[in-house]
Amino acid sequence: MACRKAVKAVLIDLSGTLHIEDTAVPGAQDALQRLRKAAVAVKFVTNTTKESKKNLLNRLQRLNFNVQEQEIFTSLSAARSLLVQKQHRPLLLVEDSALEDFSGIDTSEPNAVVVGLAPDHFNYQTLNKAFRMILSGAPLIAIHKARYYKRTDGLALGPGPFVTGLEYATDCKATVVGKPESTFFTQALSDVGCGPDEAVMIGDDARDDVGGAQNVGMLGILVRTGRIEISSSLLLSLQHSHIRQTPTFAQPSNNVI
């Protein structure tokens, strides 16, 4: 740890770290305010695909979080950038509330399959359409592959199992754009103008938040308010010199600098 540079930026996960659906993690608002008084940049990085960035911002502001839209970097943003770059016309398996982030993208005669968290669309008919498109050569793009996420009523399946099912059925490999992909973290760091050895990632997912951050050279802080069911083998696989654990977001914000 002695060789690490002074912290210049803090990347913060949202769902499971600052809030769980429409409930804020106790003390998180005050902790964020304390963190903002330090001379560091703050970037909110999320795999949330259930809603657009605008809807997510409104949710956070209703919960009294001091967050600006330009501070949020989502896996939906990363997916949109890839679609524009590749000039794909996607079949979008995302919730209707997330479609706003793909406005202007041509979806006529789709030639690519994009999968996010879409409980209302994960039915046999839609998945079979995606399956047939992939067999015919359409690329499979996973906004992320989280296995599950935390809701107020408990853990729920994420998009990962559905992406993996399509991969298995079609014998193809999805392109993943969200956490824990290195490109996701490097793009977020580029937005705040600092390197991995000058940044800290705070999140509730040992694999996607902490593991992904470690893979690009960041320090990871794991909070235990979201995905608390973590296997011992996963924790053992993480670089313990680059990980800290803490009960909630309120604790790391006190000593991250």
Nearest to 142 by CA among 188, 111, 173, 104: 173
- Prior bond to 90 cis, omega within 30? no
pTM for the model stands at 0.82
d(CA 210, CA 202): 7
- State the CB neighbour count (10 A cutoff) for residue 50: 18
Contact yes or no for 222/234 (Cβ under 8 A) = no
Mean pLDDT by 10 residues, the chain (257 residues): 75 93 92 90 93 94 95 95 96 95 97 96 97 98 92 91 98 96 95 94 92 93 68 46 61 57
Pairing state of beta strands 112-115 and 90-93?
parallel
pLDDT at 94: 96
d(CA 151, CA 23): 10
Q: Which amino acid is at 212?
A: G
Give ∠ CA 218-205-216 in degrees, rounded to 5.
20
pLDDT at 253: 56
Contact yes or no for 249/42 (Cβ under 8 A) = no
